């Protein structure tokens, strides 16, 4: 047998108070349980029938044993068999009354359903029988009104328990058009606020639709006649509906309230509604019928109050207040519920009902009023609840709670079923519960019995579980234990018992280690586009499977996809590639098992340049002022530090935005002042710590009218480029400063000498303006003013310029030389003549000097005197100096010197010639020192005299020591007379290496040392090469390849090169190469240039010797040198070079002699000094002398033309000023920094300015 209808599936035990019910679970396996009756169908509270309708009152119920039905009419038993035409539906209690008996048997009916366990009671049904509605015959009179009058057309359909729906149509079955002037009220009448002539019709027909009998009836047509009138007058509104006085409206809770206001008047009134004690309920109030009806749905008790309608037109208004009272039919607060109880228990049936007015509540037991029911000592009504105490098995019954007020009734049936059942535990025995530590575990023990059994839990030690503060037993028998510990595992016993029986089961508890995160992910702040990696290391109990680690972003599970490499999950790491601002959020890793899960979170914050600003607007546009406003864009997690306003001028520079100004990041606006005659657009971009963002969209263009120039051109100058003109120049205004379509320049000038002249002017489009016929170097006042079509610029300032210069007529006088030391002299002079003789601005002086040879050289060699002329070395002294320190001279040399003054045009005549000799100095280093091994303990040394003896040589000093000796030890010293150029050193350490320092001596002491190393090692130190070829050539490099003649040890050597096109260029070292590599890249060459290349190593004696030499071009052509040819020997090349230089010197001297007393051109090269004053060698330093010393023949002509550091310069020395001496060091360079202007006077009639002089050859 199926379980009784309405019984639940959950077990409810011992709820703690009287009336607790139990529900028999299906697992209990009870198949023969009886069931009290429960109604499944009931008749309606009201049933309206018409002559053709049978009366059908439904009634059905379930129950075991089967249910028996009976009916009452007007509270009296009603037996269907006693009334022919009345039947009961088979298997149910449904009552059917034939239509012919309906009018006679109308009244109140109630159904009773009963079996051995009790009786259920239905609602009371009221049966009403009506005839089919018909409209009574009536005589309809025409309705006659004047135009503008109000009209009401009545309907008055027949009354019915179910009100009909009303429609107004014409004879063509077309609805009468309704609007604010013509509308139908809730009563079905048709109201005209004011009649129009067009309203005249004879077929206004009211139709009534009755839903019950499915019938539509119509009234006789109404004839409305509106007489036109020429005296229609406006009138204020008057309410037609409702009619005063009116009782308060009663609205039922949960129902619908309809309030109506219909007004007449001319013009047609407009109706509005308001609630006087609060706002209209939102969402539940609506206006209908052209605002004439207020409908309030789902009425609540709070809707009590006054609702006012106001009808108004141009003539006035009319008001009406509707007083609304909300009442309620009975409704359930707590409905009585059926229940199953055990013997001895107490049943409580709650019946709590509300309503307005307050409902009356009555109880029945099995359909009998409680006052008349048996067992009055064991039941009681308390606070609306029925309490049945000390239940017995035969106390099963059905109770009814019925409540009613004037608005309706409520009825509820609830049974009390008393049963006696043995204890049975429904939870399976030997159930295993697995939990992780620190979690709460629930051990279930679902027990059932009647009376309800008591449940007790025992621990694995057979102790009551409730002795542990962590344990709690629920009313359904479940044991809660938490937080669980690893030692809590084992068998737990559940025992259930009541007064009649008992049962027990065992639950096994296994406690695992909790999952935890050892290394949580760390929050990251990253720039847009970077790759971010999160790491999360989790630990699991080894006995828990399956398990895993998953990543989420803002709660969304992340997975790798084949079509995207955005996310990469590898082991315990998550990599997010190319992060963007949309990627920021919370990234969480979740370590999970079937029993637990743990999460850790990290925040990703993406920073970058701010987004573009929005809503750029140009406001407060004035003639030349605007105000920009904008809305900042996204900051991208870095606050905006500033806003940059860019401007485009569309007339002169269209398409080019330039930065105009910046404003602080908290200021989203900027005022701008505009220039006249411009078409401007603006855009704004934001900047933060990560850079500038994208600019906004350009603003709408703004134009400004033309205006006179606001400024004049700058840089106005006046100077001549010829001796008889004045060239006026200036810096033209930028187009943005024109303030018009074009600009012109008003140029004015006048002479200052010999007397102030009159202003002359010329208006031109741009510089220059050339004024001809001017005196040489005369002052002029000049001013330049900008003008355009709108006016002139401001009054320009006056500047003074000068006409063209000419060569000076004056020369320095009183030139004198003071000998300071062997390499420096001080030159002094004075300037004669007046400023007019300068014929220009004084730019400075030039010291011209020639070296004529060594002191005493002429007497020794019986050489003729050096001819005048030649190329002098030039020292330029800017400004009004009266002397200069001339350094970098060679000791023990003969010099001659002249001084000239120069202006912007060129040099003046030279001063008288001064001759002087420099004193003797220390000599230069010996030119060569060769060391050669001649025995196991003997080295031979050979050297040459110094190229620059700088005096009379008195001898040589040789110092040497073994290389591996302590650096602080004193070297051996040997002195040699001046004529000795070689020596042999014996009794040296076998296989030892020695360092030699050779110095030349004069009366002033030793000169710098020439350093060499010698070795007594017998093995060769130079590689033996087979062939050398060029492998690759570029514009500035070449690659050399070589092969070894036979296998040999790796030897390091130097690669040197020198240009063939540059005279007397010394050998330069490119780098070091290894013989075993077989190649070397020679770089830093000049395109299209021929070079000599040599390999340099050290021989047995430690000397640096060249063992291969050739020529190469940067285009790759290799010119091999003939093997064994004497033309490639160093001594032959030096000899030929010396002969060529001597011949060149003789030619120069001849030329100088022929042109003696003539002028020289300062376009000639300014010579440079190469010698440096010799420094005595200090033994403690044992310093080295560079092998890059200048090698020359030693002749006076060679020295005269030697290249080196510049002695003279055309750079200005104006920074030193005055007549104070200007200091120079030995190589002719300034002591200290200087700066000045260079310039060349165009069109000069004299020699060119030294500032334009080409470099020396």
Checking if the pLDDT of 661 tops 60, the result is yes
Mean pLDDT, the chain, as a whole number?
A: 84
Q: How many CA atoms lie within 13 A of 1091 on its CB side?
A: 29
Decide: pTM greater than 0.85: no
The 10s digit of each residue's pLDDT in 931-944 is 988 888 999 999 99
How many Å apart are CA 129 and CA 38, to the nearest integer?
30
**Which of helix, strand or coil describes residue 857?**
helix
Mind giving me the DSSP string for 1080-1144? EEE-SPPTT-EEEEEEEEE-TTS-EEEEEEEEEETT--EEPPPTT-GGGSHHHHHHHHHHHHHHH
pLDDT reported for residue 1148: 82
How many Å apart are CA 425 and CA 429, to the nearest integer?
9
How many Å apart are CA 309 and CA 306, to the nearest integer?
10
pLDDT reported for residue 371: 86
For the chain, how many residues are written? Answer: 1257
Pair 1081, 1073: CB distance under 8 Å: no
1184 or 48, higher pLDDT = 48
Q: Which secondary-structure segment (H or E) carries 398? A: strand 397-405
Pair 615, 631: CB distance under 8 Å: yes
- Among candidate residues 413, 403, 368, 396, the one with its CA nearest the CA of residue 6: 413
3-state helix, strand, coil in the chain (%, to 5): 5, 45, 50
Strand pairing partners for 108?
A: 126
Judged by phi (left if over 0) then psi (alpha if -120 to 50, else beta), residue 246 lies in: beta
Checking if the pLDDT of 1236 tops 60, the result is no
CA 90 to chain centre: 82
The 10s digit of each residue's pLDDT in 5-41 is 333 333 333 333 334 456 678 787 766 678 899 999 9
Checking if the pLDDT of 1100 tops 80, the result is no
The 10s digit of each residue's pLDDT in 605-620 is 999 999 999 999 998 7
- Among candidate residues 547, 553, 559, the one with its CA nearest the CA of residue 591: 547
* CB atoms closer than 10 angstroms to residue 625: 12
pLDDT reported for residue 690: 92
What would the two tokens of residue 114 be?
């009963």
Mean pLDDT of 166-174: 93
Query: What number of helices (H) and strands (E) belong to the chain?
Result: 4, 97
- Among candidate residues 419, 593, 451, the one with its CA nearest the CA of residue 515: 593
CA 914 to chain centre: 77
* CB atoms closer than 10 angstroms to residue 950: 27
- Among candidate residues 611, 433, 601, the one with its CA nearest the CA of residue 510: 433
Classify residue 1189 as exposed, middle or buried by CB count within 10 Å of its CB (0-12, 13-18, 19+): middle
Ramachandran angles phi, psi of 706, nearest 5°? -65, 160
How many Å apart are CA 1207 and CA 1170, to the nearest integer?
9
What would the two tokens of residue 344 be?
């001895």
Q: Which secondary-structure segment (H or E) carries 606? A: strand 597-607
Judged by phi (left if over 0) then psi (alpha if -120 to 50, else beta), residue 1072 lies in: beta
The 10s digit of each residue's pLDDT in 429-485 is 999 999 999 999 999 999 988 878 899 999 999 999 999 999 999 999 999 999 999
Mind giving me the DSSP string for 869-898? -S--EEEEEESS-SEEEE--PPTTEEEEEE
Checking if the pLDDT of 1197 tops 70, the result is no
How many Å apart are CA 847 and CA 637, to the nearest integer?
69
What would the two tokens of residue 741 be?
């379509």
Q: Which secondary-structure segment (H or E) carries 274? A: strand 270-275
How many Å apart are CA 644 and CA 646, to the nearest integer?
6
Name 284's Cβ contacts closer than 8 Å, sequence gap at least 6: 296, 297, 298
- pLDDT grade, residue 1153 (50/70/90)? low
| Residue keyed to tokens 């020289």 | 1160
1042 or 1020, higher pLDDT = 1042
* CB atoms closer than 10 angstroms to residue 43: 24
Pair 473, 466: CB distance under 8 Å: yes
- pLDDT grade, residue 1060 (50/70/90)? confident
Checking if the pLDDT of 1252 tops 70, the result is no
- pLDDT grade, residue 1233 (50/70/90)? very low
How many Å apart are CA 778 and CA 302, to the nearest integer?
107
The 10s digit of each residue's pLDDT in 834-856 is 778 899 999 999 999 999 998 97
- Among candidate residues 771, 766, 705, the one with its CA nearest the CA of residue 734: 766
- Among candidate residues 58, 53, 59, 57, the one with its CA nearest the CA of residue 103: 53
pLDDT reported for residue 667: 93
Query: How far is CA 254 from each of CA 284, 358, 852, 1101, rounded to the nearest angstrom?
Result: 11, 16, 131, 125
pLDDT reported for residue 1020: 60
The 10s digit of each residue's pLDDT in 348-368 is 999 999 999 999 999 999 999
Task: Give the end-to-end CA distance of the chain in Å, rounded to a whole number.
Answer: 130
Judged by phi (left if over 0) then psi (alpha if -120 to 50, else beta), residue 844 lies in: left
Rounded to whole angstroms, the maximal C-alpha distance in the chain is 181
**Which of helix, strand or coil describes residue 1149?**
helix
As a dihedral over the C-alpha atoms of residue 1195, residue 1196, residue 1197, residue 1201, rounded to 10 degrees, the angle is 110
* CB atoms closer than 10 angstroms to residue 1213: 21
Mean pLDDT of 1241-1247: 35
pLDDT reported for residue 1143: 85
The 10s digit of each residue's pLDDT in 665-710 is 999 999 999 889 989 999 999 999 999 999 999 999 988 899 999 9
pLDDT reported for residue 478: 95
201 or 1061, higher pLDDT = 201
**Which of helix, strand or coil describes residue 182?**
strand
Mean pLDDT of 888-898: 95
Q: Which secondary-structure segment (H or E) carries 1147? A: helix 1130-1154
How many Å apart are CA 800 and CA 806, to the nearest integer?
19
How many Å apart are CA 849 and CA 252, to the nearest integer?
129
pLDDT reported for residue 968: 55
How many Å apart are CA 661 and CA 669, to the nearest integer?
11
Ramachandran angles phi, psi of 626, nearest 5°? -140, 165
């Amino acid at each position: 047998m199926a379980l009784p209808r309405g019984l639940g599936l959950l077990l409810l035990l011992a709820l703690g108070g009287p009336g607790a019910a139990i529900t028999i679970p299906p697992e209990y396996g009870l198949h023969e349980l009886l069931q009290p009756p429960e109604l499944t169908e009931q008749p309606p509270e009201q049933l309206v029938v018409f002559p053709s309708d049978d009366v059908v009152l439904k009634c059905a119920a379930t129950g075991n044993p089967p249910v028996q039905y009976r009916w009452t009419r007007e509270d009296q038993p009603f037996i269907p068999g006693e009334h022919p035409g009345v039947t009961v539906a088979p298997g149910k209690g449904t009552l059917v009354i034939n239509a012919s008996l309906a009018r006679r048997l109308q009244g109140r009916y109630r159904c009773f359903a009963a079996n051995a366990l009790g009786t259920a009671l239905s609602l009371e049904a009221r049966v009403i029988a009506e005839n089919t509605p018909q409209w009574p015959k009536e005589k309809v009179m025409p309705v006659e009104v004047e135009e503008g009058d109000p009209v009401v057309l009545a309907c008055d359909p027949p009354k019915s328990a179910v009100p009909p729906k009303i429609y107004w149509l014409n004879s063509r079955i077309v609805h009468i058009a309704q609007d604010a002037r013509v509308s139908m009220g809730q009563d079905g009448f048709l109201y005209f606020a004011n009649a129009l002539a067009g309203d005249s019709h004879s077929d206004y027909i009211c139709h009534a639709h009755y839903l019950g009998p499915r019938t539509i009836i119509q009234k006789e047509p109404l004839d409305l006649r509106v007489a036109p009138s020429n005296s229609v007058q406006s009138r204020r509104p008057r309410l037609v509906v409702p009619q005063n006085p009116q009782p308060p409206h009663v609205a039922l809770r949960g129902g619908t309230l309809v309030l109506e206001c219909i007004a007449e008047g001319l013009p047609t009134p407009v109706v509005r509604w308001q609630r006087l004690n609060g706002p209209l309920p939102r969402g539940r109030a609506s206006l209908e019928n052209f605002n004439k009806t207020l409908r309030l749905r789902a009425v609540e008790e709070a809707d009590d109050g006054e609702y006012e309608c106001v009808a108004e037109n141009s003539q006035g208004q009319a008001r009406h207040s509707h007083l609304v009272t909300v009442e309620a039919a009975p409704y359930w607060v707590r409905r009585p519920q059926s229940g199953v109880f055990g013997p001895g228990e107490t049943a409580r049936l709650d019946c709590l009902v509300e309503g307005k007015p307050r409902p009356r509540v009555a109880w029945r037991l099995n359909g009998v009023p409680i006052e008349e029911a048996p067992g009055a000592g064991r039941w009681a009504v308390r606070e609306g609840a029925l309490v049945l105490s000390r239940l017995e098995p035969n106390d099963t019954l059905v109770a009814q709670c019925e409540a009613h007020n004037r608005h309706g009734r409520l009825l509820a049936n609830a049974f009390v079923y008393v049963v006696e059942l043995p204890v049975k535990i429904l939870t399976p025995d030997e159930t295993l519960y697995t939990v992780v530590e620190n979690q709460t575990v629930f051990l279930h023990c679902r027990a059932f019995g009647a009376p309800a059994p008591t449940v007790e839990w025992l621990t694995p030690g057979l102790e009551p579980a409730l002795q542990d503060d962590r344990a709690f037993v629920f009313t359904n028998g479940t044991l809660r234990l938490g937080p669980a510990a690893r030692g809590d595992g084992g068998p737990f016993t559940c025992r259930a018992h009541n007064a009649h029986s008992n049962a027990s089961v065992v639950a096994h508890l296994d406690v695992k280690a909790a999952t935890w995160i050892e290394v949580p992910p760390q929050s990251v702040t990253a720039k847009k586009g970077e790759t971010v990696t999160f790491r999360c290391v989790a630990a699991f109990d080894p006995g828990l499977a399956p398990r895993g680690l998953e990543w989420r972003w803002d709660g969304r599970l992340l997975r790798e996809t084949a079509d995207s490499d955005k996310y990469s999950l590898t082991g315990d790491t998550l990599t997010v590639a190319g992060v963007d601002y949309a990627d920021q959020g919370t990234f969480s890793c979740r370590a999970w098992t079937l029993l637990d899960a743990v999460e850790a979170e990290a925040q990703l914050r993406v920073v970058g340049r701010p987004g573009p600003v929005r809503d750029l607007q140009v406001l407060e546009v004035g003639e030349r002022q605007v105000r920009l406003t904008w809305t900042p864009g996204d900051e991208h997690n870095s606050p905006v530090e500033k806003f940059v306003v860019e401007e485009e001028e569309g007339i002169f520079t269209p398409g080019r935005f330039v930065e105009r100004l910046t404003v602080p990041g908290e200021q989203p606006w900027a005022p701008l002042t505009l220039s006249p005659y411009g078409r401007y657009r603006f855009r704004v971009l934001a900047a933060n710590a990560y850079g500038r963002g994208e600019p906004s969209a350009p603003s709408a263009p703004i134009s400004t009218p033309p205006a006179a120039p606001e400024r004049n051109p700058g840089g106005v100058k006046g100077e001549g480029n010829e001796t008889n003109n004045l060239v006026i120049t200036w810096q033209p205004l930028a187009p943005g400063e024109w303030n018009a379509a074009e600009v012109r320049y008003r140029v004015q000038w006048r002479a200052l000498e010999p007397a102030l002249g009159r202003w002359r002017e010329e208006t031109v489009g741009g510089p220059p303006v050339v004024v001809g016929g001017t005196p040489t170097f005369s002052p002029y006042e000049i001013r330049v003013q900008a003008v355009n079509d709108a006016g002139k610029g401001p009054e320009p300032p006056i500047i003074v310029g000068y006409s063209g210069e000419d060569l000076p007529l004056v020369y320095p006088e009183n030139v004198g030389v003071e000998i300071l030391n062997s390499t420096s002299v001080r030159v002094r002079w004075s300037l004669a003549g007046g400023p007019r003789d300068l014929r220009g601005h004084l730019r400075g002086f030039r010291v011209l000097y020639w070296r004529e040879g060594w002191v005493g050289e002429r007497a020794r060699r019986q050489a003729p005197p050096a001819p005048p002329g030649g190329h002098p070395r030039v020292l330029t002294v800017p400004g009004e100096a009266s002397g200069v320190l001339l350094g970098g001279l060679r000791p023990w040399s003969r010099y001659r010197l002249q001084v000239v003054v120069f202006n912007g045009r060129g040099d003046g005549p030279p001063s008288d010639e001064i001759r002087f000799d420099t004193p003797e100095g220390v000599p230069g280093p010996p030119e060569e020192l060769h060391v050669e091994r001649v025995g196991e303990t003997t080295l031979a040394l050979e050297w040459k005299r110094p190229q620059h003896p700088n005096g009379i040589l008195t001898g040589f000093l040789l110092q040497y020591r073994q290389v591996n000796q302590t650096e602080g030890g004193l070297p051996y010293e040997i002195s040699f007379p001046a004529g000795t150029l070689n020596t042999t050193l014996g009794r040296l350490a076998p296989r030892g290496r020695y360092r030699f320092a050779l110095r030349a001596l004069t009366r002033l002491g030793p000169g710098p040392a020439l350093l060499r190393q010698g070795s007594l090692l017998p093995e060769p130190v130079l590689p033996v090469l087979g062939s050398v070829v060029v492998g690759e050539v570029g514009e500035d490099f070449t690659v050399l390849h070589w092969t070894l003649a036979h296998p040999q040890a790796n030897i390091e050597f130097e690669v040197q090169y020198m240009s063939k096109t540059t005279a007397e260029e010394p050998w330069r070292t490119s780098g070091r190469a290894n013989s075993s590599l077989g190649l070397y890249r020679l770089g830093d060459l000049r395109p299209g240039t021929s070079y000599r290349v040599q390999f340099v190593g050290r021989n047995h004696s430690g000397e640096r010797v060249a063992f291969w030499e050739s020529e190469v071009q940067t285009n790759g052509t290799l010119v091999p040198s003939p093997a064994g040819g004497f033309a490639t020997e160093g001594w032959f090349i030096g000899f030929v070079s010396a002969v060529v230089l001597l011949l060149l010197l003789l030619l120069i001297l001849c030329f100088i002699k022929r042109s003696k007393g003539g002028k020289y051109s300062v376009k000639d090269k300014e010579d440079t000094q190469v010698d440096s004053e010799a420094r005595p060698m200090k033994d403690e330093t044992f310093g080295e002398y560079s092998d890059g010393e200048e090698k020359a023949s030693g002749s006076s002509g060679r020295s005269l033309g030697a290249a080196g550091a510049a002695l003279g310069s055309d750079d200005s020395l104006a920074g030193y000023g005055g007549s104070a001496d200007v200091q120079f060091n030995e190589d002719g360079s300034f002591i200290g920094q200087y700066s000045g202007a260079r310039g060349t006077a165009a069109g000069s009639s004299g020699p060119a300015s030294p500032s334009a002089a080409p470099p020396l050859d």
